[in-house]
Amino acid sequence: MSSTTQNGRLDAPLTLALSKGRIFEETLPLLAEAGIEVTENPENSRKLIIPTSDPGLRLIIVRASDVPTYVQYGAADLGIAGKDVLIEHSAEHPGGLYQPIDLNIAKCRLCVAVPTGFDYQKAVHQGARLRVATKYVTAAREHFAAKGMHVDLIKLYGSMELAPLVGLADAIVDLVSSGGTLRANNLVAVEDIMHISSRLVVNQAALKTRGDRLQPLLDAFQRASAPRM
Ligand code: ATP
Ligand code: MG
């Protein structure tokens, strides 16, 4: 990126990219531990740039899957994104992001789910070629390849639960926390692919040029997210 962007100016505030919803809400306590308060709520405000009590830090509100892009190009110095999002991003943009801290927030599992009554294990054993709908094609492809299964992946951008109900797919790969959404749609998780949590990601150039300003924030996130004894 050119150094003429606002963040290229050494006196510009640090910019943290976040999505609204659970990541924003679960980040507030981590910021509070660093002594930083956020008074505006992006759910009620239409503002996409949100100040904090620290004039040296502002937040930008972007789609969850856009967080890595803002950080990679340096429009944000750092960001918070789920491991699911980071896996899909790094498949297309390898090696651009420094991922120093697992924040242990927005925890869930990436799972294979099928309609209740569908015998997934039997289908796997018989070598059936399943159609699998998902937003997480990279993670899904790696999972089924490691199992030696041939699947046809269908990329969707949301509401994966619908796909098996209307005959678009035999199975889905989706994030699950309570399982309530699956149950409501007569689906059941049959295989765990991985545990998911959100990570802090940092722009590599910012780490070099603004490390003195970034480091105290990284230390605070590290302290705030460490598992408690
Ligand atoms: P968008 O709503 O913009 O399409 P999204 O659905 O990925 O994007 P969120 O629902 O806010 O956005 O999810 C953000 C992140 O939170 C996900 O990338 C994932 O890491 C995590 N997450 C998603 N669903 C759950 C869940 N049910 N429980 C806990 N964490 C979750
Ligand atoms: Mg969502």
The structural domains of the chain, ordered by start, are: 14-107+197-225 (3.40.190.10), 108-195 (3.40.190.10)
What residue's CA is closest to ligand 1, atom 24?
Answer: 175
Ligand 2 centre to CA of 64 (Å) is: 9
Q: What is the pLDDT of residues 118-131, one digit of tens each?
A: 999 999 999 999 99
- Whether the pLDDT of residue 54 is over 50: the answer is yes
Q: What is the pLDDT of residues 98-114, one digit of tens each?
A: 998 999 999 999 999 99
Q: What is the pLDDT of residues 4-40, one digit of tens each?
A: 445 556 678 999 999 999 999 999 999 998 999 998 9
Residue located via tokens 């009554």: 117
pLDDT at 96: 79
- Whether the pLDDT of residue 50 is over 80: the answer is yes
Query: Going edge to edge, which strands form the sheet with 78-82?
Result: 49-51, 57-61, 14-18, 78-82, 187-203, 97-115, 171-176, 130-134, 151-155
- Answer yes or no: is the C-beta of 180 below 6 A from any ligand 1 atom: no
- Of the listed ligands, the closest to the CA of 84 is 1
pLDDT category, 229, cuts 50, 70, 90?
A: low
CA 153 – CA 49 distance, rounded (Å): 37
Q: Which two tokens stand for residue 24?
A: 């924003």
- Whether the pLDDT of residue 2 is over 60: the answer is no
Residue among 18, 19, 65, 183 whose CB has most ligand 1 atoms within 8 A, to mutate: 19
Residue among 108, 111, 178 whose CB has most ligand 1 atoms within 8 A, to mutate: 108
Ligand 2 centre to CA of 119 (Å) is: 28
CA 191 – CA 161 distance, rounded (Å): 15
- Answer yes or no: is the C-beta of 156 below 6 A from any ligand 1 atom: no
- Of the listed ligands, the closest to the CA of 65 is 1
Q: What is the pLDDT of residues 169-224, one digit of tens each?
A: 999 999 999 999 999 999 999 999 999 999 999 999 999 999 999 999 999 999 99
- Whether the pLDDT of residue 227 is over 70: the answer is yes
